[in-house]
């Protein structure tokens, strides 16, 4: 589970009914500029320990001169990712990232708004007590205010200072004369263990996800009229395919996981006539120190380097046969090199 996203793309053979349903989806995120201490004081009453989503999820952005960042994730855990100088001045216990290219970054996890028994891999973590509060106040005095993005369920009047509401930027693109794969429910299932069948399925699904990536990029390679120089680019759409109209919707901003769940619920709803398939591509915030939370909420999230070139993206293809036939889906993930999800 990802606590928040920076961009979501949905691509599908043009469908007026699905387009109208997706257009109705809304969410709001906020930005503010205040000290971390003040933000935690605001957030603490709204934190639900070890739940799938607390009322407040936030990300503190790096400044123009410092790469330090932090996040308050959906379990109510504050994670700091700071350089060596900041780490030594804070005086809080954390761990260094294990990769040579990122060994200057130290990660500190702290429970916010919870003082009860600790669980699983999280037992060594501290709670946000007097020592932690004093260390962060001193850091705030040295550093100054943070620019913070956050989303909150049922926002109340006592929001942080200089809090501004934003709606995600939404873009809708419809293109004609596009190669569109003929995706059927059976195409997404691998029901054989024979090596040659597995290899064929891998190639078929890889070709489909390549198409999904190009659709998200609004690439002209998908146009039936495309005549690129074969020495520069060679692309063949998945077979079989047909030429038709392709719709792509994109939302960008600080998007809560509940919003992405709303997109999924809309796509699979039996009350909305949908096209033969829909693809969703969701990208996490690259500079956030936590982008994946294990299903077991008591486990520590995998370490990652919060850099602008980091990646944690998934793409899903959902296919539904007509007349209420069973549906199927397949998902692929792309994770950056400095991420312990891949070791």
Please check whether residues 319 and 202 belong to one and the same domain. yes
Q: What pLDDT is attached to residue 118? A: 64
Residues 231 and 273 both lie in one domain: yes
**C-beta separation of 127 from 74 below 8 A:** no
Q: Which residues neighbour 191 within 8 Å (Cβ) at sequence distance 6 or greater?
A: none
Q: What is the CA radius of gyration of the chain?
A: 22
pLDDT confidence of residue 97: 95
Residue 154 confidence (pLDDT):
74
Which is higher by pLDDT, 107 or 296?
107
Q: Which residues pair with 146 in a beta bridge?
A: 34
Domain boundary, last residue among 166, 200, 224: 166
The residue out of 129, 148, 166 marking a domain boundary is 166
Q: pTM of the entire structure?
A: 0.90
Spatial distance between the Cα atoms of 281 and 252, rounded to a whole number of angstroms: 12
Residue 113 φ/ψ region, left for φ over 0, alpha for ψ in the -120 to 50 degree band, beta for the rest: left
Residues with Cβ within 8 Å of residue 215, at least 6 apart in sequence: 9, 11, 222, 246, 248, 279
Q: What is the mean pLDDT of the chain?
A: 88
- Residue 65 near residue 76, CB atoms below 8 Å: no
Q: What is the pLDDT of residue 47?
A: 80
Lowest mean pLDDT among 57-61, 125-129, 230-234: 230-234
Which has the minimum average pLDDT: 89-103, 145-159, 161-175? 145-159
22 and 73 inside one domain? no
Range of the domain at 117: 29-166
Highest mean pLDDT among 70-79, 105-114, 281-290: 281-290
- Looking at the structure of the chain, the number of domains it has is 2
Q: Encode pLDDT of 181-196 as tens digits.
A: 998 877 787 777 788 8
pLDDT at residue 322 greater than cutoff 80? no
Structure tokens of 177? 């004369």
pLDDT of residue 228: 72
What is the predicted pLDDT for the residue at 193? 76
Task: Note the Cα 22 to chain centre separation in Å.
Answer: 19
Residues 192 and 308 in one domain: yes
- Say if residue 81 is in the same domain as residue 160: yes
Answer yes or no: do 22 and 54 share one domain.
Answer: no
- Write out pLDDT tens, residues 101-147: 898 999 999 988 765 556 666 667 888 899 999 999 999 999 999 99
For the chain, what percent of residues have pLDDT higher than 70? 92
Residue 114 CB contacts under 8 Å (≥ 6 apart), including other chains:
47, 49, 76, 127
What percent of the chain clears pLDDT 90, i.e. is strictly above it?
58
3-state secondary structure string, the chain? Answer: CCCEEEEEEEEEECCHHHHHHHHCCCCCEEEEEECHHHHHHHHHHHCCCCCCCCCEEEEECCCCCCCCEEEECCCCEEEEEECHHHHHHHCCCCEECCCHHHCCCEEEEEECCCCCCCCHHHCCCEECCHHHHHHHHHHHHHHCCEEEEEEECCCCCCCCCCCEEECCEEEEEEEEEEEEECCCHHHHCCCCCCHHHHHHHHHHHHHHHHHHHHHHCCCHHHECCCCCCCCCCCCCCCCCEEEEEEEEEEEEEEEEHHHHHHHHHHHHCCCCCCCCEEEEEEEECCCCCCCCCCCCCCCCCCCECCCCCCCEEEEEEEEECCCCCCEEEEEEEEECCCEHHHC
Tokens found for residue 41:
């004081």
Rounded CA separation 137/55 (Å): 24
Q: Are residues 180 and 136 in the same domain?
A: no
Structure tokens at 154: 């049922």
Residue 209 pLDDT exceeds 90: yes
Pick from 87-96, 115-124, 241-250, 303-312: least confident: 115-124
The dihedral over CA atoms of 45, 253, 287, 338, expressed in degrees to the nearest 10, equals: 110
Give the model confidence (pLDDT) of 8-37 as tens digits: 999 999 999 999 999 999 999 999 999 999
Domain boundary among 109, 138, 166: 166
Residue 187 has which token pair?
């195409």
Residues 149 and 206 placed together within one structural domain of the fold: no
Q: Tell whether the model's pLDDT for residue 149 goes beyond 70.
A: yes
Does 40 share its domain with 117?
yes
Is 62 in contact with 86 (CB distance < 8 Å)? no
Specify the range with the lowest mean pLDDT, choosing from 103-112, 162-171, 290-299. 290-299
Tell whether 20 and 109 lie within a shared domain: no
| Claim to verify: residue 91 and residue 124 sit in the same structural domain | yes
- Residue 60 sits in the same domain as residue 23: no
Residue 75 in tokens? 């379990």
pLDDT of residue 144: 94
Are 54 and 258 within 8 A, CB to CB? no
Question: Which of the four pLDDT bands, split at 50, 70 and 90, describes residue 230?
Answer: confident
**pLDDT band, residue 1 (cuts 50/70/90):** very low
């Amino acid at each position: 589970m990802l606590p928040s996203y920076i961009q979501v793309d949905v691509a599908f053979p043009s469908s007026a009914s699905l387009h109208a349903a997706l257009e109705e989806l809304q969410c709001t995120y906020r930005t503010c500029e205040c000290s971390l201490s003040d933000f935690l004081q605001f957030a603490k009453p709204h934190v639900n320990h070890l739940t799938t989503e607390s009322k407040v999820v936030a990300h503190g952005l790096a400044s123009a001169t410092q790469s330090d960042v932090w996040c308050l994730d959906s379990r109510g855990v504050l994670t700091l990712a700071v350089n060596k100088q900041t780490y030594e001045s804070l005086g809080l216990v954390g761990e260094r990232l294990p990769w040579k290219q990122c060994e200057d970054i130290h990660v500190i996890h702290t429970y916010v708004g919870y003082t009860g028994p600790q669980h699983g891999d999280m037992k060594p973590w501290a709670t946000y007590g007097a020592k932690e509060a004093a260390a962060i106040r001193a850091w705030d005095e040295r550093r100054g205010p943070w620019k913070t993005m956050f989303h909150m369920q049922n926002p109340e009047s006592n929001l942080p200072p200089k809090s501004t509401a934003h709606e995600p930027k939404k873009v809708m693109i419809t293109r004609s004369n596009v190669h569109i794969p003929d995706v059927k429910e059976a195409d997404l299932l691998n029901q054989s263990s024979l090596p040659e069948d597995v290899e064929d399925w891998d190639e078929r699904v890889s070709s489909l996800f390549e198409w999904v990536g190009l659709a998200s990029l609004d690439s002209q390679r998908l146009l039936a009229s495309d005549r690129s120089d074969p020495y520069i680019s060679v692309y063949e759409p998945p077979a079989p395919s047909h030429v038709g109209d392709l719709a792509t919707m994109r939302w960008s901003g600080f998007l809560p996981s509940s919003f992405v769940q709303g997109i999924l619920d809309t796509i699979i709803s039996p009350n909305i006539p949908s096209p033969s398939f829909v693809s969703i591509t969701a990208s996490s915030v690259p500079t956030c120190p936590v982008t994946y939370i294990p299903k077991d909420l008591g486990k520590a999230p995998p370490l990652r380097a919060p850099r602008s070139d980091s990646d944690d993206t998934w793409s899903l293809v959902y296919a539904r046969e007509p007349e209420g036939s069973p549906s199927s889906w397949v998902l692929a993930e792309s994770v950056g090199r400095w991420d312990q999800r891949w070791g």
